[in-house]
Amino acid sequence: MRIRATVAAVSGALALTALAAPVAQADGGYGDTTITKVVVDGDNKVSVGTSSPKTIKVSVTAKDDSGIQGAEPFVLKGPDHGYFTTGKPSCKATSSTTSTCTASVLVDPKVDYLYNTNAGTWYVDAWIDAKDDDFVWREKAGSFKFQRASQLTVNASPEPVKKGKTITVTGKLSRANWETGKYAGYTGQSVKLQFRKKNSSTYTTLKTIKTDSKGNLKTTVKASADGYFRYSFAGTTTTPAVNATGDFVDVK
Same domain, 58 and 135: yes
Tell me the pLDDT tens digit for each residue of 113-153. 999 999 999 999 999 999 999 999 999 999 999 999 999 99
Q: Can you tell me the mean pLDDT for 88-97?
A: 98
Out of 147, 170, 198, pick the residue that ends a domain.
Answer: 147
Distances 155 to 12, 192, 200, 218 between C-alpha atoms, Å: 54, 14, 20, 9
Residue 20's SS3 state is helix
Same domain, 135 and 243: no
Same domain, 143 and 163: no
Tell me the pLDDT tens digit for each residue of 139-191. 999 999 999 999 999 999 999 999 999 999 999 999 999 999 999 999 999 99
CA atoms of 160 and 156, how far apart (whole Å): 10
Among residues 120, 125, 122, the alpha carbon closest in space to that of 141 is found at 125
The pLDDT confidence band at residue 39, using thresholds 50, 70 and 90, is very high
Out of 127, 147, 167, pick the residue that ends a domain.
Answer: 147
Same domain, 135 and 94: yes
Q: Over 90: is that where the pLDDT of 27 sits?
A: no
Same domain, 177 and 133: no
Out of 125, 147, 169, pick the residue that ends a domain.
Answer: 147
Cβ(93)–Cβ(130) below 8 Å: no
Same domain, 96 and 46: yes
pTM exceeding the 0.75 threshold for the entire prediction: yes
- DSSP one-letter string for 77-134: EETTTEEEE----EEEESSSSEEEEEEEEEE-TTTS---GGG-EEEEEEEEEEETTS-
Q: Which domain holds residue 163?
A: 150-249
Q: Over 60: is that where the pLDDT of 12 sits?
A: no
Residue 183's SS3 state is strand
Residue 13, judged by CB atoms within 10 A of its CB (0-12, 13-18, 19+), counts as exposed
Same domain, 157 and 138: no
Q: Over 90: is that where the pLDDT of 15 sits?
A: no
Same domain, 38 and 84: yes
Among residues 248, 251, 232, the alpha carbon closest in space to that of 156 is found at 248
Q: Over 90: is that where the pLDDT of 2 sits?
A: no
Contacts of 243 by beta carbon, 8 Å cutoff, 6+ apart: 152, 230, 231, 232, 233
Same domain, 12 and 118: yes
| Residue 135 belongs to domain with CATH number | 2.60.40.1930
Q: Can you tell me the mean pLDDT for 2-27?
A: 35
pLDDT reported for residue 16: 29
Tell me the pLDDT tens digit for each residue of 215-252. 999 999 999 999 999 999 999 999 999 999 999 999 99
- Pick the more confident residue, 11 or 239: 239
Q: Over 70: is that where the pLDDT of 4 sits?
A: no
Averaged pLDDT score across all residues of the chain: 91
The pLDDT confidence band at residue 28, using thresholds 50, 70 and 90, is confident
Pairing between β-strand 227-233 and β-strand 190-197 as defined by DSSP bridges? antiparallel
Same domain, 52 and 135: yes
Number of domains in the chain: 2
Q: Over 50: is that where the pLDDT of 89 sits?
A: yes
CA atoms of 169 and 216, how far apart (whole Å): 11
Same domain, 47 and 106: yes
Among residues 171, 174, 152, the alpha carbon closest in space to that of 217 is found at 171
Tell me the pLDDT tens digit for each residue of 197-211. 999 999 999 999 999
Same domain, 101 and 182: no
